[in-house]
Amino acid sequence: MTFIRFRTPFAGMTADLYASVLMIIAFGVFSAMSVFMRMISGHIAVPQVIFIRQIMAMILMAPHYWAARQVILHPTGLSLHLTRGFLAVGSMFCGLTSIIHIPLADATAISMAEVLIATAFAATVLREPIGWRRWLAAAVGFVGVAIMIRPFGGGFDAYALLALAGSVGGAASMIALRMGSAHDTTITVLFWQGVVVAVLSAPVAAALWVTPTLHEALILLIMGLLFTAGNWLFTAAIRIGRASSVAPLGYLRLIMMAATGWAIYGEVPTWATLTGGFLVMASATYTIMRNALRAGPLPASTLQTKEHLVKIF
């Protein structure tokens, strides 16, 4: 009965709106993970964190991988999944490194270029109809990002450039994920991405390996849990909703990260951050409203994905 009551409110949602909800929750999870990353960054190198986090995620998901082994072992879009994993590990390294060395709001604002790139890719690569309203909403959000980047005096340092490189990789990864998900299930996409990330990060992690303390091991455990939940939610959101609809919601991540930096690290937002943040919030709110107005209920395959999510979480 609990499952039925939980499921009912989602039954009338459009695919784009449901994907928007999943994406926003994922951003909240990733914001929390950034805090833990900073807590251990002084002792544990980023490649080691990526490797341990991915191995833990694979272990946590093992029962679900085993249950779906027949599907996982016979993917139809394997090349796209491998490409997604390659792009993901590069994006992870750039993103995690940047949030350690520059303010959370700054790192996130720079990475917001991912939104515009992903929207453009959706129109050119996926041939998704964008519409002038959605283009305008994305443009307004990007103007907000540009306003927030402006006061970072001294120009872009190496870590800011890493954040920008991560946004390019993230946008390409998002499109690869969307293309691969057209062939296979969410759990198949997650499995093969995890394999690629683990294999690519293992040699670097081994070279930089530092044995974590008990406290650090606990933090890594929490990060593994958060990564598993956030990655599943993010992957499901991209698979369920159109990339052009979900991508602009990335602006909300900036608001969450700026609030986290202010509350925990005393990174007080400047006038530029506040002004740009207003534009970002307006853009994201409009996108959610447009998603809610889109015609058509969730398809049966999407409802099955939702039911699987509910059973896990």
Show me where the domains of the chain are located: 14-295
What is the predicted pLDDT for the residue at 153? Answer: 52
pLDDT, position 204: 94
pLDDT at residue 181 in the model: 60
Q: Are 27 and 253 in contact (CB under 8 A)?
A: yes
Residue 312: the pLDDT is 36
Q: How much is the mean pLDDT over the chain? A: 77
pLDDT at 237: 82
Contact yes or no for 186/235 (Cβ under 8 A):
yes
Given a cut of 70, is residue 308 above it in pLDDT?
Answer: no
- Select the more confidently predicted residue: 9 or 178: 178
Q: What percent of the chain has pLDDT over 90?
A: 13
Token pair for 68: 């779906």
Q: Record the tokens describing residue 187, joined without a space.
A: 């759990």
* pLDDT over 80 at 25, yes or no: yes
Q: Is pLDDT of 151 > 90?
A: no
**Per-residue pLDDT for 13 more than 80?**
no
**What are the tens digits of pLDDT across the range 30-41?**
888 889 999 998
- What does the pLDDT read at residue 307? 39
Tell me what pLDDT residue 243 has.
63
- Over 60: is that where the pLDDT of 154 sits? no
d(CA 296, CA 14): 6
Average pLDDT over residues 215-244: 82
Query: Does residue 1 carry a pLDDT above 90?
Result: no
Which range has the worst mean pLDDT, 24-28, 65-69, 77-81, 281-285? 281-285
Distance in angstroms (rounded) separating the CA atoms of residues 90 and 201: 10
Residues near 27 by beta carbon (within 8 Å), at least 6 away in sequence: 249, 250, 252, 253, 256
Alpha-carbon gap, residue 51 to 203, rounded angstroms: 9
pLDDT of residue 203: 94
Least confident range from 66-80, 91-105, 246-260, 291-305: namely 291-305
Contact 249, 114 (CB under 8 A): no
* Mean pLDDT of all residues in 21-36: 87
Average pLDDT of the residues in 290-307: 49
In sequence order, which residues have a C-beta less than 8 Å from that of residue 231 and are 6 or more positions away? 26, 57, 190
pLDDT band at residue 288 using 50, 70 and 90 as cut-offs? low
Distance, in Å, from the CA atom of 235 to the CA atom of 23, rounded to the nearest integer, reads: 9
More confident residue, 47 or 238: 47
Output the CA angle 277-253-256, nearest 5 degrees.
75
Give pLDDT, residue 195: 92
Q: At CB < 8 A and 24+ separation, what contacts does 7-13 make?
A: 7/306, 7/307, 7/310, 10/298, 10/306, 11/297, 11/298, 11/303, 12/297, 13/297, 13/298
